[in-house]
Chain A
Amino acid sequence: MMKYEITLATLLADIGAFYEPKKWHFLTVNGIDLGEGKIELQWIFSKYHVKDEIVIYYAISDYETPIPSVVSLIPSAFMGEREIVDMFGLTVEGAEKGLYLDEDSLPHPLRGES
């Protein structure tokens, strides 16, 4: 497993330079609360036809900073983006709330402070 740190400012450029749909299978967007208002965001890929090759691009952010969407590069990413909007209460460009949680659910249940 290879992990590469990037920033939200360069996210689209970094993923755009890396991602080729016929080489890489996009697994998901993931979030991990690091505490003290920080969150690690991950974009995870596996290589087709190759054993054990996983690549994770990650960026450290806070709860308030809007996150660019990678849907223009990876059309299937909208599911993972909507999930982190619901579960961490983040803002992702173009991603609506309500994939998992209803209006009366706990807000952002996977935040450390919740």
Chain B
Amino acid sequence: MKKTIQIPLGSQHISLLEPIRFKFECENEKIIGVDADVGFVHRGVELACTRSFEFKQVGYVVARVCGLCAITHSLSYTLAVEKLLGYEANDRIKYLRMLMVELDRIHSHMLCLAHTAENAGFEALFMQIMADRELVMDLQEAISGNRVQFDFIAIGGVNRDLTPELTSLIHKNLTLLSEKIDTLIGLFDNNWSLSLKYKGVGVLSLEDAYTYNALGPLARATGLATDVRVETSDFPYEAIGYKMVLESTGDIYARNFVRLREIVNSIAMCKNIADNLPSGEILEKTKGKPKGEAVVRVEAPRGELFYLVRGNGGNMLERVRIKTPTFSGIPAMMEVFKGSEYADAPAILASFDPCMSCTAK
């Protein structure tokens, strides 16, 4: 009988600083079984949304679920409440919301790519990508007034408008960023540590992507053509130049390239929005209190974010259900780990871009 040993990865681990623990069962260096523990920092946000805050405040509470996709959380919740109130935002509001979500995607993908570089031993590139990411962070700060917890989305619209100065800044920073991303694409394609070393590692097959309901960049790297941006009609993504990015090999390399090419597409979409912003109010009055049940899906940087909101016509909601991308991605992650070398686990994990802040909401 072969001897197996248990090896933990996280949460106090040099290559996984997030509050999640994977327990690997290894035979020699190969992972043959895996279990996950995601509850280290559970914060009870769903409970707080129905017991401690009125529905008008909850959008600002759920923005605190995550420091990377705060806009996506507040947007998803707000869309759900607006559906219950029978309100549909005008095009200007939709465009401004899309702008912030796509900026979120750019900086979140860059953070993931930085971590992937770091796990390849490419510390200098990690620093460089994080420095380049500031171009987007500066934009978000200039537009929303905040750097991380933006509080930009409001029920009935958004809290700030674009000025001509901000439009110029968007063009300036995103043009600069485009050049940096072109360089990064070359590096991720040609550098040995980032390209050849990651080809064929951490493979999720298309079949398994369906079986384990993979989502977001993880699914698109296998060739599974799913993206909430084109599976809902809440936003006119086609009008601003959305293109689905697909790879087919399902490995770390493919996941990196989905993110790199999505950044290119998001930059183009943000510039389109800035140039073609429709006219209209940025904040409209909504009437009534949420009654009934609404579900909303929004494509967060890591994949589908799902909100279910149920109200009874009062100020307090009956249920706010948040289902985050990382939570849904864990079954596929666990499947990829099985059969992989333990030494590859940190790089595989980084390529999934897990967000425990969202998961332990």
Interface residues of A (CB under 8 A from B): 1, 21-22, 25-28, 30, 32-33, 42, 44, 46-52, 54, 56, 74-76, 78-80, 86-87, 98-102, 105, 109-110
Contact = CB atoms under 8 A, between A and B. Distances in A.
A22 B210 contact: yes
Contacts of B38: 99-100
B233 interface: yes
- Chain A interface, >50% SS class: mixed
Contact of A51 (B213, B232, B308, B310): B232
A56 B294 CA distance: 12
A76 B107 CA distance: 29
B42 interface: yes
A102 to B, nearest CB: 7
B39 A21 contact: no
Determine the interface band of chain B, counting residues with CB < 8 A from chain A: 20 to 34
Interface string B21-40: 00000000000000001110
Contacts of B321: 28, 30, 32
A19 B210 CA distance: 12
B360 interface: yes
Contacts of B10: none
Contact of B231 (A50, A56, A86): A50
A42 B211 CA distance: 20
B332 A76 contact: yes
Given A49-B231, A76-B328, A100 B213 contact: no
Interface of B: 37-39, 42, 44, 46-47, 210-213, 215, 225-226, 230-233, 295, 297, 304, 306, 308, 310, 318-319, 321, 323, 327-328, 330-332, 360
Given A26-B213, A32-B319, A110-B47, A44 B39 contact: no
A48 B226 contact: yes
19 contacts: A1-B295, A25-B213, A25-B226, A27-B304, A27-B328, A28-B321, A32-B310, A32-B318, A46-B231, A48-B231, A49-B225, A51-B233, A52-B231, A54-B297, A87-B46, A99-B37, A100-B42, A109-B44, A110-B46
A101 B39 contact: yes
Contacts of A30: 308, 321, 323
A87 B231 CA distance: 30
Contacts of A110: 46-47
A57 to B, nearest CB: 13
A75 B39 contact: no
A106 B306 CA distance: 25
B37 A78 contact: no
A21 B332 contact: no
